Structures are given as C-alpha cells and as structure tokens.
Amino acid sequence: MKAFILERYGNKDRVRAGEMPEPELRDNEVLVQIHAAGVNPLDSKIRDGEFKLILPYRLPLILGNDMAGVVVRVGPRVRQFQPGDEVYARPDADRIGTFAEFISIKETSLAHKPKNLSMEEAASIPLIGLTAWQALIEMAKLKKGQKVLIHAGSGGVGAFAIQLAKHVGATVATTTSTANVDWVKGLGADIVIDYRKSDFEKILKDYDVVLNSLGGDTLKKSLQVLKPGGRLISISGPPDPAFAREHGASSFLRLVMRLLSYRIRTSAKRRRVSYSFLFMKASGKQLREIATLIESGAIRPVVERIFPFESTKEAMAYVETGRAKGKVVVKVK
C-alpha cells in the first residue's frame, strides 16, 4: 500500500512516500480503507523525535494520527463493526499510521462516522475532538456557568473546544490574532483577546479552567487568570508525574518529568490551583458521544484546506506555519 514513511527522526526531509505492507489484522481489530486523514502539529513533533522517550516507535514508521474511512475486514472478536461501515478514529498512540491507504485499529478506538459529515470533515475531528473532550469534560468536569479560557481559538483544538464549552453552557474566553477575532466569535467565544494588542492575564480573572496549547510563557501567565481551586490543563507540556505514572514510564523518565514540570507545579500550588498535562488517548466511546453532538448541530467541523494524498508533506509544512484556521486534511481515496 502507498504510505508516508518516517525512516529516521529529523526534519521534513526524513519523510518520504513509499510502499509498505498492508497492516496485519489482530483478533480485536478492524481493517479500514482510509479515505481521508487529519494533519496535526503532533505529526511533525513525532517526526522530529520530540516524543521518542515517551513513545518509542519502531522505525520505519507510518505517520498520521486521525482518519475516516470504510471497514474492509474485521477480526474474529469484533462485534460492533462490519465490512462497509463508514468509521472515524484516532488510533492508539502505539498504532498510528493514517497517512496510508489502510490501517488496523482496535475496535474500542473506533466509532461510526457522523452521518452528516463528509469523509474529509470526519477525518478532521478525532484527535482535536478527543483532546477537547478529555480536557474539558473528563479532566476539568466543566459545568454550566463556569468560565474557561481556551488559548489559540482559531487552531484545530481551540475551534472545537470553544464549541464544546459553549454547548456545556460555560462562558468562553479565547486568544487569537487580529485577523481571526470575528471568526472565533462566530464559533461562540464570548470574550476574544487579540494577543497582538492586549495581555490576556491583565484582562481576565477568576476563571475556573484554562486549556493551554502554547509555549511556556503563556503557561506561566495562565496561572494568573485562575481562581483558587482552578485548573490549568496543557497539551503542550511539560509532562507531569501523573502522566508518567499513567503511561508506565521508567523510574528515570518519571524523575525527568517531575523535574520538567516542577516549576509550573510549584507556581500553581502557590496560587492554590492545579496543573495537569494531557496527552490525549484513543476512545471509540467518546467519539460516539462527539458524533451525537455533531449530528445534532451542536458542533460543526472546521476544515480550512484539503490536500491530495501525494501532497501530504506539503500539508504537514502548512500546519507547521501555525496559520491554519481549524484543521487541514489530506484526501487519501
């Protein structure tokens, strides 16, 4: 099958188009013919080796972290899917590879595609949808009437998280550039701060939750907007001890993560708030709940550009610019 393959960690030149064997199908897995794949900043971070201590992939590796497609075959222990089903998923972190024509995915990580979405729209959802869900619903337990700051509201995670938080009934603030102020208001943001003109930490206060996807300076400033008991959840690091325990990290890695997050955890404790790092997990169950919200019209996909499969490297480069509004997708079939 055709695929985009990483043979050695490094820059974009380390990724090439090539042929790989069709994936083997385990008893509890579903073989899916991929029609479209989402492109995420995570793809470039994996390519550059940023997660090689946490996720020690065996190279060569097929890149790609979310997709939509059609079931081709199912393993003997699979009960929820059959050939011909239209599905979408974020594969388990140790079984990625959506920049390809086929992939085998655990039944528990797969869900039926929202009926009202195209394959390209559906492929844009899994990684960002699960990230927002696990941050706001699972970890923060966001409730109606609470206040949440979602950084980078025009990005993939931000655009989805704004809509999810508004569906819950929260008051939503977000940061974005001048060009996207009206656009994120259209997604439902109540308060929009143009980071080119204003400092969010001087404007916002007494927030219950902050969802951060930006660098260290923003992380530290985000503590200032939280009220006592508030939660700072970051998807851009640094990893914390809870993450290390959950992923069964070695004693050395647990020590490294404790040291990396020591400063932000200490600052959070001083302000009587909590800090958590989130590395999103695959979940078919949560994708089914997300599909229900999409089919009801509560959340809509935001796809800025669709690249042909042969231009996957160009799609990754475009995402790396940080200028994409919502998601970028490659059309595989």
Residue closest to 6 by CA, chosen among 82, 65, 54? 65
Hey, what are 131's tokens?
């990230």
Give the pLDDT confidence score for residue 108 in this predicted structure.
Answer: 98
Burial tier of 235 (Cβ tally within 10 Å: 0-12, 13-18, 19+): buried
Residue closest to 205 by CA, chosen among 131, 285, 271? 271
272 confidence band (pLDDT: 50, 70, 90): very high
CATH number at residue 136: 3.40.50.720
- Structural domain includes residue 98: yes
In a shared domain, residues 145 and 254: yes
In a shared domain, residues 75 and 86: yes
Hey, what are 192's tokens?
């929009």
Give the pLDDT confidence score for residue 246 in this predicted structure.
Answer: 80
Instruction: Please determine, for residue 317, whether its predicted confidence score (pLDDT) is greater than 90.
Output: yes
Give the pLDDT confidence score for residue 243 in this predicted structure.
Answer: 82
Distance CA 237, CA 11 (A): 21
In a shared domain, residues 103 and 172: no
Average pLDDT over residues 47-64: 90
In a shared domain, residues 221 and 259: yes
Residue pLDDT, tens place only, 176-189: 999 999 999 999 99
- Structural domain includes residue 183: yes
Give the pLDDT confidence score for residue 245 in this predicted structure.
Answer: 82
In a shared domain, residues 49 and 159: no
- Structural domain includes residue 290: no
- Report DSSP letters for 85-119, one per residue: -EEEE---GGG---SBSEEEEEGGGEEEPPTTS-H
Residue pLDDT, tens place only, 96-117: 999 999 999 999 999 999 999 9
Residue pLDDT, tens place only, 112-147: 999 999 999 999 999 999 999 999 999 999 999 999
Hey, what are 330's tokens?
């490659």
Cis peptide before 41 (omega within 30 of 0): no
CATH number at residue 305: 3.90.180.10
- Structural domain includes residue 106: yes
Residue closest to 23 by CA, chosen among 123, 111, 98? 98
Average pLDDT over residues 188-196: 97
Hey, what are 9's tokens?
């960690």
Q: Is residue 136 a contact partner of residue 165, using CB atoms and an 8 Å limit?
A: yes
Give the pLDDT confidence score for residue 178 in this predicted structure.
Answer: 94
Burial tier of 46 (Cβ tally within 10 Å: 0-12, 13-18, 19+): buried
- Structural domain includes residue 288: no
| Residues above pLDDT 90, as percent of the chain | 86
In a shared domain, residues 83 and 138: no
Q: Any residues with CB less than 8 A from the CB of 4 and at least 6 apart, and which?
A: 15, 16, 17, 18, 62, 63, 64, 99, 100, 312, 313
Hey, what are 137's tokens?
């619903």
- What average pLDDT does the chain have? 95
Instruction: Please determine, for residue 51, whether its predicted confidence score (pLDDT) is greater than 90.
Output: no
Distance CA 18, CA 222 (A): 43
Number of separate helices (H) and strands (E) present in the chain:
12, 16
Q: Is residue 304 a contact partner of residue 180, using CB atoms and an 8 Å limit?
A: no
Alpha-carbon radius of gyration of the chain:
19
Among 262, 277, 292, identify where a domain stops: 277
Alpha carbon 243 to chain centroid distance? 16
In a shared domain, residues 217 and 262: yes
Q: Are strands 86-89 and 61-62 parallel, antiparallel or unpaired?
A: unpaired
254 confidence band (pLDDT: 50, 70, 90): confident
Instruction: Please determine, for residue 86, whether its predicted confidence score (pLDDT) is greater than 90.
Output: yes
In a shared domain, residues 138 and 231: yes
Give the pLDDT confidence score for residue 241 in this predicted structure.
Answer: 84
CB atoms within 10 A of CB 138: 14
In a shared domain, residues 135 and 17: no
In a shared domain, residues 120 and 69: yes
Q: How many domains does the chain have?
A: 2
Distance CA 13, CA 36 (A): 23
11 confidence band (pLDDT: 50, 70, 90): confident
192 confidence band (pLDDT: 50, 70, 90): very high
Hey, what are 29's tokens?
């897995």
Residue pLDDT, tens place only, 211-253: 999 977 999 999 999 999 999 999 987 888 888 888 777 888 8
In a shared domain, residues 271 and 321: no
Q: Tell me which amino acid residue 320 is.
A: E
In a shared domain, residues 139 and 264: yes
Give the pLDDT confidence score for residue 304 in this predicted structure.
Answer: 96
- Structural domain includes residue 53: yes
Give the pLDDT confidence score for residue 295 in this predicted structure.
Answer: 98
- Domain holding 306, by residue range, is 2-125+301-331
Instruction: Please determine, for residue 13, whether its predicted confidence score (pLDDT) is greater than 90.
Output: no
Q: Can you give the pTM of this predicted structure?
A: 0.96
Give the pLDDT confidence score for residue 52 in this predicted structure.
Answer: 84
CA distances, 183 to each of 47, 93, 189, 241 (Å):
31, 32, 9, 37
- Structural domain includes residue 295: no
- Structural domain includes residue 294: no
Average pLDDT over residues 28-34: 98
